[in-house]
Amino acid sequence: MVGYPTEDGCLEALVRPFCWVALFVLSLGCGRTAVLPSSPIVAMVDDNSISLNELKAAFLEVEIKGTLDENSESVKELKRTILSQLIEQHLFLAEAARLKLEVGAEELKQAVDRIKGDYAPGEFEAMLQHRQTSFEDWKERLRRELLSQKVINQAVPENIQTTPEEIQTYYKQHLKEFARPIEVRARQIVVAHEEAAKTIRLQLVQGADFASLARARSLSPDKEQGGDLGFFTQGEMPEEFDIVFTLAVGKISPMVKTVYGYHLFKVEERHPAKPMTPSEAAERIRAQLTQERREKLFAVWVAGLKEKARITVNNQILYQPIGSSESSPEPAHD
């Protein structure tokens, strides 16, 4: 009946179709302002309403970079996107009721504990207070998100089969995606003072064992492994570590200053850039194809739910400035 496609580049807050849940999961960490009964209705989904306050709460929880111009097409597009997500959530919850799916008390408790565990002491309570919402309202929002995800997982299975022939075809058509960059395996020693780094480097140049000095002198947690950082590619580590890609195997780096102290590096092994083999790329390709197919199934399923539902949208209320609370005419069909 109604749907709003998103546009790439239309504010950084917009969400890809299959990843709609991320918008709501993100908002769980921010809380949600309670919906007031007097709030104008911006949309109806069958017999359920979506209020302007509900739309405002979701809108204000999206992190928007740059200046907010509510008359701009990008902000209007964002409002349409958020409303579309709210409409979909109502459809998912109705489908959950039809399928008799529930979120158990213990399941909800574990999710609450997991999210609260990401906050430092006092920060979770401060977040609720900042958003002017109660813990019970926040927990109910979480329950609804978990239930929505259950419906999605049942409608869009994760174990979609991919044949070896499909993997091989994808590999041949996307060879550039499987170019493996240069990898190095390096060790490091980190000390707090420049003079200590100079002394250790002199010992290393004179033949001292790097791993032994790392165990004895380094401040880094990897000292127990002789400073071994394992294999990594350029960009995986802090930028200062990229000096190792200029070193030959067995060479000691100059001192490198970072926020952690003074570093010395030694390259132990180097793997040249080369394409991944089909067998090396197989799991990555399988995951990619599975994700693409799940997204297509998800889009078809959601379209079916919307087609069967009665959805009306009041655009006059939808495009009201976020700070406005004026009443508007009854919702009209979009």
| pTM metric for this prediction | 0.60
Check if the beta carbon of residue 90 is closer than 8 Å to that of residue 50. yes
Over residues 197-226, the mean pLDDT reads 95
The C-alpha atoms of residue 214 and residue 209 are separated, in whole angstroms, by: 9
Give 36's contacts (C-beta < 8 A, 6+ positions apart).
51, 53
Give 55's contacts (C-beta < 8 A, 6+ positions apart).
42, 79, 82, 83, 86, 318
Over residues 137-151, the mean pLDDT reads 91
DSSP-based helix, strand, coil % in the chain, nearest 5: 50, 15, 35
Over residues 187-213, the mean pLDDT reads 95
Using the predicted structure, report yes or no on whether residue 10 has a pLDDT greater than 80: no
Over residues 94-115, the mean pLDDT reads 95
Using the predicted structure, report yes or no on whether residue 6 has a pLDDT greater than 70: no
Upper half-sphere CA count for residue 314 (Cβ side, 13 Å): 18
The C-alpha atoms of residue 157 and residue 166 are separated, in whole angstroms, by: 19
**Residue 330: predicted pLDDT:** 40
Check if the beta carbon of residue 92 is closer than 8 Å to that of residue 152. yes
Using the predicted structure, report yes or no on whether residue 241 has a pLDDT greater than 90: yes
Check if the beta carbon of residue 146 is closer than 8 Å to that of residue 111. yes
The C-alpha atoms of residue 246 and residue 271 are separated, in whole angstroms, by: 13
Q: Among the listed ranges 125-129, 161-165, 192-196, which one has the minimum average pLDDT value?
A: 125-129
Question: At residue 210, what is the residue type?
Answer: F
The C-alpha atoms of residue 305 and residue 20 are separated, in whole angstroms, by: 15
Question: At residue 103, what is the residue type?
Answer: V
β-sheet with 311-313: strand ranges across: 48-51, 41-45, 311-313
17-159+289-318 CATH, one of 1.10.4030.10, 3.40.50.2300, 3.40.47.10, 3.40.50.1820: 1.10.4030.10
Domain ranges of the chain: 17-159+289-318, 182-272
Over residues 71-88, the mean pLDDT reads 89
What's the pLDDT band for 11 if we cut at 50, 70, 90? very low
Architecture of the domain spanning 182-272: Roll (3.10)
**Residue 180: predicted pLDDT:** 83
H helices, E strands: number in the chain: 11, 9
Using the predicted structure, report yes or no on whether residue 250 has a pLDDT greater than 50: yes
Question: At residue 157, what is the residue type?
Answer: P
Place of tokens 């900042």: 130
Q: Coil, strand or helix: which one is 189?
A: strand
**Residue 67: predicted pLDDT:** 64
What's the pLDDT band for 66 if we cut at 50, 70, 90? low
